[in-house]
Homo-oligomer: A and B are copies of this chain.
Amino acid sequence: MIGILGGGQLGRMLALAAARLGMRTHIFCPDPDSPAFEVTPHKTVAAYDDEAALAAFADAVDVITYEFENVPAATAEFLAARKPLRPGANALAVSQDRLAEKGFLASKNIPVAPYRAVETIADLEAAIDALGLPAVLKTTRLGYDGKGQRVIRERSEAASAFAELSPKPLVLEAFMPFEKEISVVVARNASGEVRAFDAAENVHRHHILFTSTVPADIPPGVEKHAAMLAKVIVVALDYVGVLGVEFFVIPGERPTLMVNEIAPRVHNSGHWTEAVCLTDQFEQHIRAVVGWPLGDPARMADVVMESLVGDEVRIVPSGLDGNTQPHLYGKTEVRPGRKMGHVNRITRR
């Protein structure tokens, strides 16, 4: 019995993958309408700080994982004392805080954009002096899908950006003139096996992932380098599970890579694996967290994943082309900006 914190679409897809491997899942989520509750009879509807509910959940499962990186540290600690928590609490600590994440990456010689910690408006002025403009001011915690960040193009915008963003502290990042964004989904299991899926080239729209195209249009050496950096990260974290690594590709005579961010979980930009890999990212994560050998991430075809956001979900089923595999998340209410599903489109066999 695998316990999963979070009942959204990622938790749902993890539960479906676990079921294919003959395993049972128990979903813990405060929202009674969670999509993942529809794919298992075992659930807990409770707040993440409800210790009685957490204790009963831990008693009911053999291992615990999660679908989102913002699991409160106290929750992670409480659960990890009772049952194996995979990925571990250190992966959460690093990825929940942009400063900790950049500090960790830099300490492993993984290239990241130049940055400065910003606690006061004076810090921000000094950071602008050091990094130049444009630059991006971000909260260190709880940002996602473009929330919690502002681009500063003129020094006159600094004060309002500082005032607007919370919680503090913030971080100012140099604005990288990147050519494209790619990502690598990598897995490591408890025995230390490490395997990466092919890199995807990602396009965002309104800060939400719009398409992931595989193979990415990058030189083979750059793709190999991205996979290597992703593997270095999971080894350095003594990580167990699947991790998503987003990179900027910086143009140049030889394009270079910088890590934008890491996510200690299955990743939107890995949804394409379900259509064309013998082992998809969800199965790979389950294999890792239960102590199985990792599966084969090799890819059988070229593919584009397209997100279905809000009303776009209405193209299913009649607007689907051949060569297309839909995946809907079972959300009953369509809202603007809500991720409702995705499609995987085979572009070349």
> Which residue in chain B gives the minimum CB-CB distance to A23?
B330
> Which residue in chain B gives the minimum CB-CB distance to A22?
B328
Asked if A184 CB lies within 8 Å of chain B CBs, one says: no
Contact of A300 among B16, B301, B317 (CB under 8 A): B301
> Which residue in chain B gives the minimum CB-CB distance to A25?
B38
Interface pick from A65-73, A86-94, A202-210, A271-279: A271-279
**At the interface, is chain A mostly helix, strand, loop or mixed?**
loop
Interface pick from A127-135, A231-239, A288-296: A288-296
Asked if A57 CB lies within 8 Å of chain B CBs, one says: no
Within 8 A of B (CB), among A314-349: 316-318, 320, 322-331, 341, 344, 346, 349
Cα(A328)–Cα(B344), bound, Å: 25
Asked if A219 CB lies within 8 Å of chain B CBs, one says: no
Asked if A12 CB lies within 8 Å of chain B CBs, one says: yes
Asked if A39 CB lies within 8 Å of chain B CBs, one says: yes
Contact of A278 among B278, B316, B325 (CB under 8 A): B325
Query: Could you tell me if A39 and B19 are in contact, using CB atoms closer than 8 angstroms?
Result: yes
Contact of A295 among B16, B295, B325, B330 (CB under 8 A): B325
Query: Could you tell me if B21 and A19 are in contact, using CB atoms closer than 8 angstroms?
Result: no
Known A37-B41, A38-B41, A300-B349; contact A21-B293, beta-carbon cutoff 8 A: no
Find chain B residues with CB under 8 A from A24 CB.
38, 330
Find chain B residues with CB under 8 A from A16 CB.
16, 19-20, 39
Known A19-B16, A323-B296; contact A275-B275, beta-carbon cutoff 8 A: no
Contact indicator per residue, chain A 240-280, by CB within 8 Å of chain B (1) or not (0):
00000000000000000000000000000000000110110
Query: Could you tell me if B296 and A322 are in contact, using CB atoms closer than 8 angstroms?
Result: yes
Query: Could you tell me if B317 and A292 are in contact, using CB atoms closer than 8 angstroms?
Result: yes
Query: Could you tell me if A330 and B296 are in contact, using CB atoms closer than 8 angstroms?
Result: no
> Which residue in chain B gives the minimum CB-CB distance to A318?
B293
Find chain B residues with CB under 8 A from A318 CB.
293
Query: Could you tell me if B278 and A346 are in contact, using CB atoms closer than 8 angstroms?
Result: yes
Asked if A40 CB lies within 8 Å of chain B CBs, one says: yes
Find chain B residues with CB under 8 A from A275 CB.
278
> Which residue in chain B gives the minimum CB-CB distance to A299?
B349
Query: Could you tell me if B292 and A19 are in contact, using CB atoms closer than 8 angstroms?
Result: no
Cα(A19)–Cα(B16), bound, Å: 8
In the complex, 9 of the A-B residue pairs with CB atoms within 8 angstroms, ordered by the A residue number, are A19-B330, A20-B327, A21-B328, A22-B327, A24-B330, A278-B324, A278-B325, A279-B325, A293-B317
Binding site for B on A (CB under 8 A): 12, 16, 19-24, 37-41, 43, 275-276, 278-279, 287, 292-293, 295-296, 298, 300-301, 316-318, 320, 322-331, 341, 344, 346, 349
